[in-house]
Structure 1
Amino acid sequence: MVVVSEIAPDLFRLSIHVPEFDLQFNHFLVRDAEPLLFHAGLKGMFPALRDAVASLIDPTQLRHIAWSHFEADEIGGLNHWLELAPLAQPVCTLVGKLVSVDDFALRPARGMAAGDVLSTGRYHFRFHRTPHLPHGWDAGLLFEESRRTLFCSDLFHQFGDVADVTSSDLIGPARQAMQQMQSGPLADTMPYTSRSAGLLQGLAALQPQTLAVMHGSSFTGSSEQMLIDLAGVIEEGFEGG
């Protein structure tokens, strides 16, 4: 079942909880003149996600399908969406486009470079390159500048079938999740590099008011300090493994 909730004006969270992992997989639809879907989802989730999107817009009118990095839960269903929406274009980092996506996808991707802006109409998403944050060298994030929404991908990962949005601090749940992963086969899932703290400080300087989180509750409120503190959580988790 897909749980649909509006976490900010025209921003919808489409959440599927998978009990086997006790983990939510969240996808975000921006309803605008040129609708944007952030996270294409796993292939097997496509029928349910398609129906959820259809409850909000005509899914054939999707224009942008974006994600952070090349990974099944972010990109697995991409070609299904491209078949459904003939005008939709994949949107990813330039690195992702060159090394993975243009070979995988039915249509060439728009490769975003630092500072590039994607406009959907009323909303404008500035691209921020974040290599190895949260995962691969192709990672990057989008920040919507008018409503101050940051699409976080796997940052602030939490387990459980949790609330759609919270104003409570996410550091505790994120630390607990990282400790849990470090004790199993997903150890070292999020690397800590010499650039991690600086990248997170740069994201904090954007002063996001909404964090659209892929796994777990999204956040509304002042998030600057949480983004700064997250560097320590990642460092603890990675070095502790």
Structure 2
Amino acid sequence: MGITNLSAGTNVHEIADGVYRINTPVSLVPGGFSFNQYLVVDDQPLLFHTGPRRMFPLVREAVESVIPVSQLRFIALSHFEADECGSINEWLAVAPHSAPLCSQVAAMVSVNDFADRPAHAMADGAELALGKRSVKWLDAPHLPHGWETGFLMDTRTNTMFCGDLFTQGGIGAAALTNEDILENSEAFRKPMDYFSHSTNTRQLIDHLAAESPGTLACMHGSAWYGDGAGLLRALGERLVSNASLR
């Protein structure tokens, strides 16, 4: 594993057993930024996030460095946004036995209309067997944004695919770190504040923290390992504190 496209800098690293981070650095903001997708290799392989539509060739090349793309069975998204699912139909075309995977709300309001095949819609707490492992869906409406938002938990490796939570500036050079990412992510969030600040933020955070993730697979920046429940609750405290100041 390593760099799969020299000109773009797209790279692939295994961050947990059978879980691969696909990372592409971009220059959208000062200091750099990155888009990550996560490939889960099992009897029924799953890709979490597609990347923007124009990034499809880069992500496809990266997936192909691990498995044939035709083997993919699920194309998952946290919420309906270009970097989450912009190339979903391209993936459905090259993986003819695959289906979108998302929340029930996402399927109802967007995915079943947008995607070329019906979604595998998951309720909160529902599990899906991929082979040796299962993934568990966790509804998290409006955390950080989007009514349809939810996250996936790989119950075998204790990895939570946590979407836009802990979005970090920079190119995410470290595939996996146990250094602080909260301060980086909070510094990135504050100027544009893309969180919804819903009234039940603390309950939603506690719902995620109850899964006690050991790895947080962030969609922008480095993935992180350690006390995931503690880090999630620390983020929750920041969000609740900020909301009280409004």
Q: What TM-score does the superposition give when structure 1 sets the normalisation length?
A: 0.93
Does residue 26 of the first structure (1) align with residue 36 of the second (2)? yes
Does residue 5 of the first structure (1) align with residue 5 of the second (2)? no
Whether the 8 Å contact between 2:140 and 2:204 is mirrored in structure 1 is yes
Give the letter for the 1:89 counterpart. A
Q: How far does the alpha carbon of each residue in 1:73-127 deviate from its partner, in whole angstroms, 9 at most, with x for none?
A: 0000100000001000000000000110111000000111112112111110111
Show the 5 A alignment for 1:139-158. 139-158=149-168
Choose from 176, 181, 190 the match for 1:170. Answer: 181
In 2, distance between residues paired with 1:7 and 1:69?
A: 23
**Residue number in structure 2 paired with 1:99:** 109
Choose from 130, 136, 144 the match for 1:126. Answer: 136
Whether the 8 Å contact between 1:191 and 1:234 is mirrored in structure 2 is no
> What SS does structure 2 have at the residue aligned with 1:153?
coil
Alignment RMSD (CA, Å) = 1.4
In 2, distance between residues paired with 1:153 and 1:112?
A: 16
Give the letter for the 1:19 counterpart. S
Whether the 8 Å contact between 1:192 and 1:238 is mirrored in structure 2 is yes
In structure 2, do the counterparts of structure 1 residues 197 and 99 end up closer, same or farther at CA, with 3 Å as the change threshold? same
Give the letter for the 1:73 counterpart. D
Give the letter for the 1:189 counterpart. Y
Aligned length: 235
Gaps of 5+ in 2: 1-8
Q: How far does the alpha carbon of each residue in 1:40-82 deviate from its partner, in whole angstroms, 9 at most, with x for none?
A: 1111100011011001001011000101100000000100000
Q: Which moved more, 1:152-161 or 1:14-23?
A: 14-23
Show the 5 A alignment for 1:50-89. 50-89=60-99
Give the letter for the 1:29 counterpart. L
Q: 1:20 Cα deviation (Å)?
A: 2.7
Q: 1:193 Cα deviation (Å)?
A: 1.5
Whether the 8 Å contact between 1:70 and 1:100 is mirrored in structure 2 is yes
Q: 1:188 Cα deviation (Å)?
A: 3.5
In 1, distance between residues paired with 2:50 and 2:28?
A: 21
Choose from 218, 229, 235 the match for 2:223. Answer: 218
> What SS does structure 2 have at the residue aligned with 1:24?
strand
Q: 1:240 Cα deviation (Å)?
A: 6.8
Whether the 8 Å contact between 2:202 and 2:240 is mirrored in structure 1 is no
Q: Which moved more, 1:57-66 or 1:15-24?
A: 15-24
Choose from 14, 25, 34 the match for 1:17. Answer: 25
Does residue 36 of the first structure (1) align with residue 41 of the second (2)? no
Does residue 206 of the first structure (1) align with residue 239 of the second (2)? no
**Residue number in structure 1 paired with 2:147:** 137
Q: 1:147 Cα deviation (Å)?
A: 1.3
Does residue 234 of the first structure (1) align with residue 211 of the second (2)? no
In 1, distance between residues paired with 2:158 and 2:75?
A: 20
Q: 1:169 Cα deviation (Å)?
A: 2.4
Q: How far does the alpha carbon of each residue in 1:135-190 deviate from its partner, in whole angstroms, 9 at most, with x for none?
A: 100001111112111000000011002311101122111111112xx2xxxx3411
In 1, distance between residues paired with 2:114 and 2:209?
A: 33
In 1, distance between residues paired with 2:216 and 2:134?
A: 16
Gaps of 5+ in 1: none
